[in-house]
C-alpha cells in the first residue's frame, strides 16, 4: 500500500551514458507496478532521449510521463553563448513547474546531484542517492551533500540492482530480488515491432542474416583483439552470415575497414543514430560486442547477444535476465575465439 495520500510525483535522474541509462530502465516498471497512478519524469542528456521514448506514456500504456532533456555536454562547449544560458534557464524553469515528492538519483556524480538541487520539491520530499561508490564505477562523494537519504549499496553491485537499491530505499520498499521479480526494459510490443521496422537507408547493403560486431569501446583495454575479430568473422562468414562492423568515430571506422577487408562479404556501414540502432539491432541474427552501450542495447532488447568482457568485471553489467544472452570473459581474462564462436553458434541455432 502506498504511503502517499495522492499519487506521488517522482523524478528519476540518470543523465548518461548509453549503457547506464539502459540499466536504469527497470525501475520505471518497478515503480509502475506499485504506484500505477504516479507521475514519473526522467531527466537525461539530450543525446539519449531516444532510449526513453519507447517508454513514454500513451493510450493503453503507462510508463514515463515526461522526458526532460539536459544539454550539459553541448552547453559546456558554449558557456559564453547567450543561447546556452537561455536554454539552461528554460531547463531550470521546467524543473520548477512540478513539486516532486521523490527524487531518485542513481548516478552519484556532482552534475546529477546539482540537478536534484535545482528541482522543485514538496515539503517532505525524499531525495535519494548513492552513499558509496561501487567498484569500477565513477562516483563523486560530494554528491552525498545534495541528498537527504544516502543509500549504502554493495561494493560489487550490478548496475540494474544498484538502481533498485536506491529506488527501494527512497520508497521504503523491500529490494526486488532477481529470482522473484521480472526484469523489464521495453514493452514487448515495441520490441516485436522493431523486428519488422524498415531499417535505415544507410543500411541498404545489409543482407540477412547478418551479425553485428561491436568491436569499439571508449577504453582500449576493453577491446577484443583485431586478430580475434577476424578469425571469428571468417568462421561466421563461412556459415553464410554477413558480418557488420559498426563504428562511432573516424579511428574506429578505420579499424572496422581493416577488419572487414579480411572477411568475405563483411561491410562497414555508414554511421547510424541510436534511434536507427534499435531496428538494426532488432533485425540482426546476432549481436556480438565488447562491454559497450550498443551491446547492452541488444541485451536489453532481449535479442541474441554475446557479451565479451576483456578488462571490466562481468558482474557489473552482464545480461543476466535472458537465455538469449551469453556473457564471456572477465576483467583481464578475455574469452578465446573458440568460446565466442561456440556461444554464437549456440544462439544462432535457437
Q: Give residue-wise pLDDT tens across range 105-131.
A: 999 999 999 999 999 999 999 999 999
Which of 15-19, 101-105, 205-209, 234-238 comes out lowest in average pLDDT? 205-209
CA angle 181, 42, 70 (to 5 degrees): 145
Q: Give residue-wise pLDDT tens across range 153-163.
A: 999 999 999 99
Same domain, 65 and 130: yes
Same domain, 172 and 207: no
Same domain, 28 and 52: yes
Same domain, 37 and 156: yes
pLDDT for residue 180: 79
pLDDT for residue 106: 98
1 lies in some domain: no
- What mean pLDDT is predicted for residues 289-296? 97
pLDDT value at 42 more than 80:
yes
pLDDT for residue 178: 85
Same domain, 258 and 298: yes
pLDDT for residue 151: 98
Last residue in a domain, options 185, 207, 225: 185
pLDDT value at 200 more than 70:
no
Same domain, 111 and 240: no
2 lies in some domain: no
Q: Give residue-wise pLDDT tens across range 72-81.
A: 989 999 988 9
pLDDT for residue 202: 60
pLDDT value at 145 more than 90:
yes
Which of 65-69, 174-178, 231-235, 321-325 comes out lowest in average pLDDT? 174-178
pLDDT value at 196 more than 70:
no
Share of the chain above pLDDT 70, in %: 97
- Count other C-beta atoms under 10 Å from residue 259's C-beta: 21
C-alpha cell at 280: 538494426
4 lies in some domain: no
Same domain, 181 and 226: no
pTM over 0.85: yes
Same domain, 195 and 287: yes
Same domain, 180 and 207: no
With CA atoms as reference, report the closest residue to 215 among 300, 292, 318.
292
- What mean pLDDT is predicted for residues 245-257? 97
238 lies in some domain: yes
Last residue in a domain, options 129, 163, 185: 185
Same domain, 119 and 221: no
Last residue in a domain, options 156, 185, 214: 185
Same domain, 153 and 287: no
pLDDT value at 1 more than 60:
no
With CA atoms as reference, report the closest residue to 109 among 13, 219, 23.
13
With CA atoms as reference, report the closest residue to 347 among 299, 280, 300.
299
Same domain, 113 and 54: yes
234 lies in some domain: yes
More confident: 205 or 271: 271
- Secondary structure in 3-state letters for the chain: CCCCCCCCEEEEECCCCHHHHHHHCHHHHHHHHHCCCCEEEEEEEHHHHHHHHHHECECCECCECEEEEECHHHHHHHCCCHHHHHHHHHHHHHHCCCCEEEEEECCCCHHHHHHHHHCCEEEEEEEEEECCCCCCCCCCHHHHHHCCEEECCCCCCCHHHHHHHHHHHHHCCCCCCCCCCCCCCCCHHHHHHHCCCCCCHHHCCCCCCEEEEECCCCCHHHCCCHHHHHHHHHHHHHCCCEEECCCCCHHHHHHHHHHHCCCCCCECCCCCCHHHHHHHHHCCCEEEEECCHHHHHHHHCCCCEEEEECCCCHHHHCCCCCCCEEEEEECCECCCHHHHHHHHHHHHCC
**Structural domain span for residue 201:** 191-348
3 lies in some domain: no
CATH of the domain at 212: 3.40.50.2000
124 lies in some domain: yes
Domain count, the chain: 2
Amino acid at each position: 500500500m502506498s504511503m502517499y495520500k495522492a499519487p506521488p510525483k517522482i523524478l528519476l535522474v540518470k543523465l548518461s551514458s548509453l549503457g547506464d541509462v539502459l540499466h536504469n530502465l527497470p525501475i520505471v516498471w518497478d515503480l509502475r507496478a506499485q504506484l500505477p497512478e504516479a507521475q514519473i519524469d526522467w531527466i537525461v542528456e539530450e543525446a539519449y532521449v531516444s532510449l526513453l521514448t519507447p517508454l513514454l506514456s500513451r493510450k493503453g500504456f503507462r510508463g514515463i510521463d515526461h522526458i526532460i532533456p539536459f544539454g550539459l555536454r553541448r552547453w559546456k562547449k558554449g558557456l559564453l553563448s547567450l543561447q546556452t544560458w537561455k536554454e539552461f534557464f528554460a531547463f531550470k524553469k521546467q524543473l520548477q513547474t512540478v513539486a516532486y515528492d521523490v527524487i531518485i538519483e542513481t548516478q552519484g556524480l556532482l552534475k546529477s546531484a546539482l540537478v536534484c538541487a535545482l528541482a522543485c520539491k514538496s515539503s517532505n520530499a525524499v531525495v535519494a542517492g548513492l552513499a558509496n561508490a561501487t567498484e569500477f564505477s565513477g562516483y563523486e562523494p560530494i554528491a552525498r551533500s545534495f541528498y537527504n537519504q544516502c543509500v549504502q549499496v554493495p561494493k560489487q553491485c550490478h548496475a540494474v540492482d544498484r538502481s533498485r537499491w536506491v529506488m527501494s530505499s527512497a520508497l521504503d520498499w523491500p529490494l526486488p530480488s532477481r529470482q522473484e521479480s521480472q526484469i523489464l526494459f521495453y514493452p514487448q510490443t515495441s520490441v516485436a515491432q522493431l523486428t519488422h521496422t524498415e531499417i535505415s537507408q544507410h543500411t541498404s547493403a545489409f543482407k540477412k542474416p547478418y551479425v553485428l560486431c561491436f568491436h569499439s569501446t571508449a577504453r582500449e583495454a576493453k577491446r577484443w583483439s583485431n586478430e580475434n575479430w577476424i578469425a571469428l568473422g571468417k568462421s561466421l562468414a563461412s556459415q553464410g552470415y554477413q558480418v557488420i562492423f559498426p563504428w562511432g568515430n573516424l579511428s574506429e571506422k578505420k579499424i572496422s575497414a581493416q577488419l572487414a577487408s579480411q572477411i568475405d562479404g563483411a561491410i562497414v556501414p555508414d554511421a547510424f543514430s541510436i534511434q536507427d540502432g534499435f531496428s538494426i539491432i532488432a533485425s540482426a541474427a546476432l549481436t556480438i560486442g565488447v562491454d559497450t552501450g550498443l551491446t547492452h542495447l541488444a541485451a536489453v532488447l532481449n535479442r541474441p547477444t554475446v557479451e565479451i568482457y576483456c578488462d571490466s568485471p562481468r558482474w557489473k553489467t552482464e545480461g543476466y535476465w535472458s537465455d538469449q544472452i551469453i556473457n564471456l570473459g572477465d576483467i583481464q581474462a578475455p574469452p578465446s575465439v573458440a568460446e565466442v564462436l561456440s556461444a554464437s553458434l549456440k544462439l544462432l541455432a535457437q
